[in-house]
Structure 1
Amino acid sequence: MNTVIPPPAPPSIPVVGRTERFPVRRVFCIGRNYADHAKEMGASVDTANPMFFTKPADALVTDGADVPYPSATNDLHHEVEMVVALGCGGTDLTVEQAARIVWGYGIGLDLTRRDLQAQAKAKGAPWDVAKAFDHSAPVSAIVPATDYIPDATTPIALTVNGERRQSATLADMVLDVPHILSALSRLFELKAGDIVYTGTPAGVAALHRGDRFVATLGDVVTLEGRVS
């Protein structure tokens, strides 16, 4: 296909133990999926109507690259989240069907311009500028589900400059992965290459230039980075 400008390189994520990379189609996120985080944000949890939003695929930061501090904010917050990568998809999936579409797992940060989010909330406006900005989705390498499947006892954690900021287990999620994907498939047609950020526990706080962070999923998946 001839194009009038050079097409951008498709986003992709490294895969643990392989030279091939995971190509990314879309980035979905679920909000308020840990009750303690919803409480600290002054919000309630509605299990019947999960809250989803998206980020552009080119917002991903991979391969341990530095995360540039974004413009237009003085209150950048971290939200550590397990990430699932889909090997296939579908619409109106049952929970059982949804459990079978996961290709692999990672750990990531849903970075948020908290001051812009608060302004949007106050106006009843969309959150796009608070969530979907450039470099807002650092993510680790993906571990294939054939090699590792986290369970309810698996811990998720984030340290910043050696200080523990967020810590929980996956049992603390309001909706587990199959229920998240089933609900999401009623709103979008899921496809191979989609990734889903699955929500954050309590303890969100500010990041500053020069901060170093380490996010972990169990003792298998790690994301290390620096805010520049």
Structure 2
Amino acid sequence: MKIFAIGLNYDSHNKEMKRTFESKEPVLFMKPDTALLKDGKPFMLPDFSNEIHYETELVVKINRLGKNIAERFAHRYYDEITVGIDFTARDIQRKQKELGLPWEIAKSFDNSAAIGKFISKSEVDDIQNINFHLDINQNRVQQGNTKDMIYSVDRIISYISRFFTLKIGDLIFTGTPAGIGPVSINDHLQGYIEERKLLDFRVK
């Protein structure tokens, strides 16, 4: 099982991060399977960072083998979605970028890819018009709509499949809108697609 993630996919987030870089193709990175956090298990704050940020995203699950998938057929390759958190060690990421070094250690550490319960994509009318949000301690901290993606889900799947064979169970984090921020011990995170709660866990 592979975990793919897309960066810089919402203009609102790019502006809040003061990024001026514009890519003509999706920005792709990966997380190992050890990054997966599911079933409501708590997220343990790591001891190597003092600035762990949440990034709330729509996550899709691949349901069939695919390579070099045409964008017009990409919708056939996933049938379940959920909301997830791409945890980022922001202080480490910043340091690695300043040094011109890879920053996998800031994005791909253990338990850095939290996912909620999956639902059928048939439960939403349009994959590119889905509201999702994150509450921390019952306060709304981040919200977005997939219509604001720079690259659509189908475009992302087509792009990834040029380089990697997609297999059943692979996950794709599709990018985060504005509103990212830090987490602290005892925070209670709850993630929603529309008004349906799919993600629910605590920080320890």
Q: Same fold (TM over 0.5)?
A: yes
Which whole-Å CA distance do the structure 2 matches of 1:184 and 1:221 have between them? 29
Which whole-Å CA distance do the structure 1 matches of 2:188 and 2:148 have between them? 26
1:185 CA displacement: 1.0
Which whole-Å CA distance do the structure 2 matches of 1:158 and 1:75 have between them? 18
Give the counterpart of 1:56 among 13, 27, 32: 32
Query: Within the alignment, does 1:172 sit opposite 2:148 as a pair?
Result: yes
- Which residue of the partner structure matches residue 63 of structure 2? 87
The within-5 A match list for 1:24-173 is 25-44=1-20, 46-148=22-124, 150-173=126-149
Deviations 1:199-219 (A, max 9, x none): 001011100111111111113
Contact preservation (8 Å) 1:150, 1:218 = no
State the superposition RMSD in angstroms: 1.5
Which whole-Å CA distance do the structure 1 matches of 2:177 and 2:164 have between them? 25
Contact preservation (8 Å) 1:35, 1:45 = no
Give the counterpart of 1:194 among 170, 179, 185: 170
Which whole-Å CA distance do the structure 2 matches of 1:79 and 1:219 have between them? 19
Q: Structure 1 or 2: larger helix share?
A: 2
1:193 CA displacement: 1.4
Deviates more, 1:170-179 or 1:38-47: 38-47
Paired AA for residue 64 in structure 2 = C
Q: What TM-score, normalized by structure 1, do the two folds share?
A: 0.85
Q: List alignment gaps of at least 5 residues for structure 2.
A: none
- Which residue of the partner structure matches residue 159 of structure 2? 183
Q: What TM-score, normalized by structure 2, do the two folds share?
A: 0.94
Q: Structure 1 residues 89 and 219, CA, compared in 2 at 3 Å: closer, same or farther?
A: farther
Which whole-Å CA distance do the structure 2 matches of 1:27 and 1:142 have between them? 15
Larger radius of gyration: 1
Contact preservation (8 Å) 2:134, 2:142 = yes
Deviations 1:162-204 (A, max 9, x none): 2211111111111111011111111211111111000001011
Paired AA for residue 29 in structure 1 = A
Q: Which has the higher contact order (CA 8 A, sep 6+)?
A: 2
Q: How many aligned residue pairs are there?
A: 204
